[in-house]
Structures are given as C-alpha cells and as structure tokens.
Structure 1
C-alpha cells in the first residue's frame, strides 16, 4: 500500500479517483499499542501479564501448583494468556479479565490465587530468574494504584474490543463504522470523569466505598482477601472519578488522551466532517459519502432542500472519469439527489440504511429514476472498510492445506477455502445430497458395508 512508490501510488497513476483503505482493525490496534507503550502504568500492567504468562506457560510444575492453590481456596482458575506478539487487542482484554475475574464482587478469585502462588515462588524458587520475576510481580499486584488502574484499563479495552469486533465484521458498512467510532471515542473520553455502568472499575470502587461506609478504616481494605499497599485515606466515588488520588487520576486522563488522540489521527476522515478536511483528496471523498446516510438528514423541508449539495458536487468531481466511463449522466445527479431526498423524507423514513439502498437499487421505478445517482451509491457500498476477511482466508488456507494434504489441486484448495470462510456453519450442513452424489458418481457401485476379504477382517 506504499504511499510514495507502492501499489497505491502505481494504481493512482492510472486511476486518480482511487480510494485506498488501510485495514481499520489494524489501525485501531496501532492506536491502542501506542497508548500501551507511552503510558507508564499501562506498561506495568502489560509487563505483569507477560511475566505471568511466561511463568505458567513454560512451567508445568507452576501450573500444577497454581491449580493446587486454587483447589485449596475453592476457586476455578485459568492459565494466564499471552498478551505480546502478533495478538489482537481483544486478547489483551481477555488476559486482563482472566486475572481480575472472581465469582462475585468481594469474593476470592484468580487474582488472589495467582498472587499467593507468586509470593510462594518468590520465597522458595531456586531459579534466580523466576524468583526475581515473582518478587516484581507480587510487589506490583499488592499496590492499590496498580490494581485500580488495571480495572480502568480493562474498561477501556472492553470498549476497544467492541469497536474492533465491529470493524472486523463482514457486514460492516461505512455508516456503521463511523457511528461505532464516534460512540467509542465518546465512551473513552467519559471514562476520565465517570465509570461505565457495571464496569470493572465501578465494581472495584464500590467495594472500597462499601468498606468505608461500614465504619472501617479505608487503609485496611482487602481485595479478594489481599491487603493492598498505598490505600488512600478516603474512598473514591465511582460516580465521580475526580475523587481518586491525584497520581491515579492523572494516569487515567493521560491514557484517555493518548488513545483518543491515536484513534482521531488514524480515523480522521471518518470522525471529521467533509468541511473540516482541508483541500481535495480521497479522505474528503470518504467523508462526503456520509451524506448518503438518511438518518442524518434534517427534518425541516427548507434545510433538506439544500442538504448535501456541496458533498454531492465533490463526489461528482472526484469520481467524474469513472462515472463517465460507465455512461453516467453526471449533469442529472444533482436533480436526482433533490428528488431522492424528498421521496425518502416522505415515504422511506422507517427504512434502515441497507434496506433503503436495497430498495432503490433493485426495485422499479427507483432503480431507473435514480440510475445516475445510484452509481455513487454503488461506489459507496463497495468501499472496503475492513480487510479482516482476507486474514481469515489466510488462516483457512493454513488449516486446509496441511503437510498431509500438500498435493491438493488449486481448484480443490480454492473450493475448500471458500467453503470454510464463506460457507454456512457445519451445524447447518445437510449431507444427504452430497452423499447421494458421491454414491452415484462412480462407474462401479459403492459398497459401504464392505469389510475386506475374510483374511483381512480381524
């Protein structure tokens, strides 16, 4: 996709109207990874998760001891998962959720089990590496600042995971992606002042607040039975995060600023309006396509009359050579645009985004009355907002073409990959027709009950 001399640059020479879209889930991943690297507390949490993974992934003895401690405390535990390397952000969220998980708020959970076993390794391990690693992990896990921030980071990653899943969906379309991005940014920005409802941080702070409300000293609070160090003198209110200690609040606000800035930088053409983008370019063309989302159209007739005129004119200008090569009457598009707005406002306000354009593109007389304008709609509908499906196809190829099936014909391999990536689930597969075709495809009769010659039957 090189901007200067790569595929994008070469194709743009012959197709100046080309719109290149970098894989959106990867761009989101880069924004989150930048935040994790630049935030000191985030890096501490990542280091602890990584050290725990190393401790239990490479040592069957440590896994057995962890399970023994869990059985003694009547807790179900899972092995810590990997958080570094070529992993999607949801894997980081999963690893953090496993560490903080407990059956009910205030009860003993995996965090307490892991800490108890880590302190055991710190005092009894003969390996200097394991001993030093365990001392570092145990010290951090007993710190109030660390565990508070870990809950906060889990809430951020929960929002990011939902956004990532939306961006990876095969059904993702431009308005859906734009709405998901704006919602995620707003939710993350709100985390600097208020917890999400029923979020991990809210449940943790409620435990601290309840402990103080019962007349106990806040510094004696225990999380999953663990006495924490660095407890503040007063419990914070989950509805007002400004009551948190200054160092924690500053770290949380820095994290929010870093991730929001990263998302805005990488998705500026989807988060900004066309008027905010300076100069011509593909980014402005993408922003102009948002005018085709009828949910954002004004209700007042006079405002609706002039709505989107500049955006449609820019799209005509940008895609002019492509439209003219397909026998499109570009002069008729503005008139058809005004007719379409009035029609949709009067008859199709109850239609969804995809439902509206399905009707317009397939039903008479709409597909003929708006045939020139609908060419812009078709361009918008085929904009690739994600390349996650391509990644899934590569994974499917790895599963299908193993060392034992390395001689598969190209046509057979392609068919199997398409079935794996695009076909229905196995539970919906009806084998009767396939079995009947196989039974009747041979020149000789199939003998399903054949067990071999008498000497071959055991």
Structure 2
C-alpha cells in the first residue's frame, strides 16, 4: 500500500475508533467522514459505509485484545470474575473479567469478553468461561487460576453444584470470594428490615415518587410551589431497585431537600379543595403528611442519613478496582467503629436536624408532636439499629483462615519483634498453594528463608507505606532477591474482592446494544465493548492499535485492497443537445453519452 493511501486509511480507522469508543452507531461513520472532508481532510472515497465501519472495528478490537492478552499472559497468577444478566433482546449473557498482576507490580482487571449462554446453570457458565479464556489465548488457565469472584447466587457458590465447587474439584487451592459490595447491600437489607427506617422512612420516597411519576402536571405544580418558597427540588427517586447502598443515601437526600415543597404541595392535595384528586389518594396523602410533619420522622431521617453516609462510603471503597484484601478488612473495621460511635453520640446530620426541631419547626414547617417524646423514641431505636448493622456486617464478612493469614502480611500491624511474626501464616499459605506454586516455578523450600529476610527489608525501608504501594515497589525492585516468597504475594494481589467492574460492563452492554441496535451479533458487541473498556485514549490510539489494525486489514483481505480506487457511483445519462442539422441517419448507439460518477 502506498504511503499516501496508508495515511488516509489510518484516518478512516481513527474515525471508526472514535465511533466505537464513544458508543455511537455505525451509521454515524459516513456522515463523520463527509464532515472531515468538508473540513479539508484528505480522505479516500472508498470504504465509506457503515458495513466497513464494523469491519474496521473488528480489526481494531483484535489489536487491543492482543495487547491485553500479552499483559495477562505475563502474569503468573490470575483470578476470574463473572456475572450474568440479560441484554435488551432478553438474551442471557455472561461477562468475564480477569484480574492479573501488571509488570509494574500493580493488580489490574482486563475485560475478556461476553458470551451468550445456552443455560444459566453452573455447567453452562463453566463452558462459557472455558471458551472465552481459550479463545483469548489462555489455554492453560487452570495452571494460573487462584481466585474466583462473583455475586452470592447459588449458581456461583452453591455447595453442591455451584461453579466454585466444580472448579475447586480440579483446583483445590482455589479461593472463592463473594463480592464485598454485594455483601454490604445484603447486610443493610437484613439490618433495616422490619424497622421504623424501612417501614416508614423508606416508604415515603416510594409513595411520593409514584405520586409524581407519570404526571407532568403534578411535577410542574411542585416546581412552581418550590420556586415560590425559594427551595430547590431534586428529582424524587425510589429507595429500592438498584445495586449499591449509595442509592438509598441519594434517595434520602432528595427527600430531605424536598421536604418543605413536598409538604406544602401535599397539604394542598390532601385538602378537599382539589376536585381533580381522588378521595382515596387524598386520604393517603393526609396519612403520610401526619407522619412526615413530626419530630419523630425527621429525627429518624437525620440518624438514617448519618448511618447511610458511612455505609455508602464503605460501599464506594469496595467498588474501587484497586481494593485489596487488607484495605477492605481495615475499611470494614473502621466503619464498624464509626457506627458504634453513632450509637452513643449524634452524627453531623442528626445534630443539624435536632437544632431546628427543638424550635418546634423544621425549615419553616410546623411540627405536630413534642420534641421530648420523639427524642426518647429515637433513643430506644438507635442502639438496636446500630447493634443489628454491626452484627450483620460481622455475619456477612466472616473471613476464613486463608484470607486472615493473607492480612497478617500487612506491615501496618507488625509488632516490634518480628522474629516469629508471620511464620505460621506463611506456612499455612505455602501449604494451601503448594501445588500451583510449584507449577509456576516456585522453590517452596526457600520460601521461609526469604520471608525472614524480606521482613527485615520492609521493616527497615518500607514500613510506613500503604499495602498497594508497598508491594508494588517490592515486586519491581526486589523480585530477583526474593523470587519465591513473592509468588505468595502475587497470589494475594490478584484476589478478586469486588465484581463492581463487571456490573459496569453490563451497563455498557445496555448502552451499546440499545433497542435501535438490537440485532447486533455477539461478536460485534464484544468488539465494541473491548474498544470502549480496554482501548487507549484517542490521542494514543493512532500511533498504536490503529496503525497495526490498518496493516493487518491490508494484508488479510481475501482479495486485494484498493483504497485509492474510487467506487462506482450512480450512472448519469446525458443526452447531447439536438441540432436541426443533425444527421438523421446516425447510428442508434451514438444517440446518447453514458458518464460515470468519478
């Protein structure tokens, strides 16, 4: 391919990459090419149609996949993270991620692919996992797999027929971890179930959300009333129906912000002056108004927001891709201590609510019950609630001996005397992972001797570093000095703590495969997701995957590529001007001139 044609094809591939990276339809491709031409960019006239955009996307995704596979294969140990759901076409799909150790010593997660599954059973999902890993160039994945991460569905962790159980039959060293963020959601659900917070406070956002949803008139009236009161109105949201704890906090924040405007509007709706409101709806509104315009309701909201604020912070930590086991354990312990303090003292939101409620009103709304009685009822429910939350956290985050042994290697909690510290835990980990350690070249006989020397090095030079930074530096700088003990550290680093990134991949899947693109095949969806999730930034793509993709595209065609040849266009039939002097005996073949669009 000539250099000029090659440069032009790079620009066309770059436009296709832009479309895939920004999750746009292939139909945008011809119009973007025409826009670039209007801006004076010199582009080819061939290969300018949506079908070619899809072909270009395939070659681009292949180059990105090759780079990702190269990085994954460089890691001696990996973990897999899986989750299943249905897409817009109600097709069951499984998304697979791999957690591996990058050459810089930092654990990373890579998108492997998505696959249609014939049945959502353990065997069906296992077949999907195997086919995805093998198709991505990881045929001997069982010799490197040390962790399995998923949500707590029985198909994943069932004690008899779950995926983890079946994998562990062939890989007895495998560690299965139920997603930390999912466990927190379940712990909160159990702790709040049947309490005043669940029955009364959670019920009101659900009520007024359904009251305004589907009625533009009611929402306009609320906005006008809020404007008169000089209040802001946040969009009402339901407390239930989403994945993480933070959605509860956002729903309560919207409720607390909207209270003056909502109470004023519902007071009007609940009166007998509105003829357009059904009597049953008006009665429900009056019942809720009686509860909301009380010190008890508002004080409980204050406590609820403080509690959910801490739990939301914990949930957001669990959703980070870089979360490690020691960091997660420390975050759980810190949150439990903060919650226990709330059982004895007031949090910031509750203190602010109490200051206003003592005056008999809240943000201009007169309250019905007495403050002293409401505060006594709050005290009677506060300690049981905090106790139940802490108990549910303890129950959901029970840690087995192997994971606890891993946490012992965090220097943050090391004592002054390190002579015997950690020896028992390292021996336990060594025995548990012995088989896979040997498969990957670890000399298990030298592990304990290296551990003794490594403790001295860390205690002297790296004691104050956080877990992630510490082991990143150790793996980069001391890999030749401690080649065997670092096998165990690599195992710990790739433990799959959270599947939140897999959940985000499903959100991307639904953005890519919309109702208007419901016929996209699985291979195309996989390519688009690969570019969006793993592709470099557009500024770096042209010098990397785009150039390689163009070269491969040019070489791999079944027929010769002709990017510099203009495609055929519509034929134009042009008749010559008739002349009275024209020879009437001219041949019919010369009656008209046929031109082709160039």
* 1:151 to 1:419, Cα distance in 2 relative to 1, 3 A: farther
Cα separation, 2, equivalents of 1:333 and 1:432: 43
CA contact 1:53–1:82 (8 Å) conserved in 2: yes
Matches within 5 A, 1:13-92: 13-92=169-248
Q: 1:375 aligns with which of 482, 487, 495?
A: 487
- Give 3-state SS (helix, strand or coil) of 1:367's partner: coil
Q: 2:360 aligns with which of 205, 221, 231?
A: 221
Residues 273-293 of structure 1 deviation map (CA, whole Å, 9 limit, x = unaligned): xxxxxxxxxx11011101221
Gaps of 5+ in 2: 1-155, 555-560, 573-598
* 1:158 to 1:320, Cα distance in 2 relative to 1, 3 A: same
Indicate the residue corresponding to 2:413 in structure 1: 296
* 1:266 to 1:334, Cα distance in 2 relative to 1, 3 A: same
Cα separation, 1, equivalents of 2:446 and 2:546: 55
2:398 is equivalent to residue 268 of structure 1: yes
Indicate the residue corresponding to 1:339 in structure 2: 453
Cα separation, 2, equivalents of 1:433 and 1:326: 32
- Give 3-state SS (helix, strand or coil) of 2:264's partner: helix
Cα separation, 2, equivalents of 1:164 and 1:386: 10
Matches within 5 A, 1:100-119: 100-101=256-257, 110-119=258-267
Cα separation, 2, equivalents of 1:59 and 1:30: 33
Residue 402 (structure 1) shift: 2.6
Query: Which structure has the bigger radius of gyration?
Result: 2
- Give 3-state SS (helix, strand or coil) of 1:161's partner: helix
Indicate the residue corresponding to 2:167 in structure 1: 11
Residues 232-286 of structure 1 deviation map (CA, whole Å, 9 limit, x = unaligned): 359xxxxxxxxx83321121112111111111111121xxxxxxxxxxxxx1101
Indicate the residue corresponding to 1:231 in structure 2: 370
* 1:248 to 1:326, Cα distance in 2 relative to 1, 3 A: same
Cα separation, 2, equivalents of 1:307 and 1:340: 12
2:389 is equivalent to residue 259 of structure 1: yes
* 1:383 to 1:435, Cα distance in 2 relative to 1, 3 A: closer
2:295 is equivalent to residue 144 of structure 1: yes
CA contact 1:63–1:79 (8 Å) conserved in 2: no
- Give 3-state SS (helix, strand or coil) of 1:414's partner: helix
Matches within 5 A, 1:381-396: 381-396=493-508
Residue 423 (structure 1) shift: 4.4
CA contact 1:80–1:99 (8 Å) conserved in 2: yes
CA contact 1:154–1:200 (8 Å) conserved in 2: yes
Indicate the residue corresponding to 1:214 in structure 2: none
Indicate the residue corresponding to 1:272 in structure 2: none
* Superposition TM-score, scaled by structure 2 size: 0.63
CA contact 1:90–1:157 (8 Å) conserved in 2: yes
Residues 310-338 of structure 1 deviation map (CA, whole Å, 9 limit, x = unaligned): 11111112222222333322222121111
Gaps of 5+ in 1: 102-109, 209-217, 235-243, 270-282, 454-458
Residue 294 (structure 1) shift: 1.5
Q: 1:318 aligns with which of 432, 446, 457?
A: 432
Cα separation, 1, equivalents of 2:545 and 2:450: 49
CA contact 2:412–2:464 (8 Å) conserved in 1: no
Cα separation, 1, equivalents of 2:562 and 2:390: 66
Cα separation, 1, equivalents of 2:542 and 2:231: 43
- Give 3-state SS (helix, strand or coil) of 1:305's partner: coil
Indicate the residue corresponding to 2:252 in structure 1: 96
Indicate the residue corresponding to 1:105 in structure 2: none
Cα separation, 2, equivalents of 1:56 and 1:407: 35
- Give 3-state SS (helix, strand or coil) of 1:20's partner: strand
Indicate the residue corresponding to 1:211 in structure 2: none
| Structure (1 or 2) with the greater helix fraction | 1
CA contact 2:293–2:367 (8 Å) conserved in 1: yes
Cα separation, 1, equivalents of 2:323 and 2:434: 27
Q: Which has the higher contact order (CA 8 A, sep 6+)?
A: 2
- Give 3-state SS (helix, strand or coil) of 1:162's partner: helix
Cα separation, 1, equivalents of 2:226 and 2:540: 42
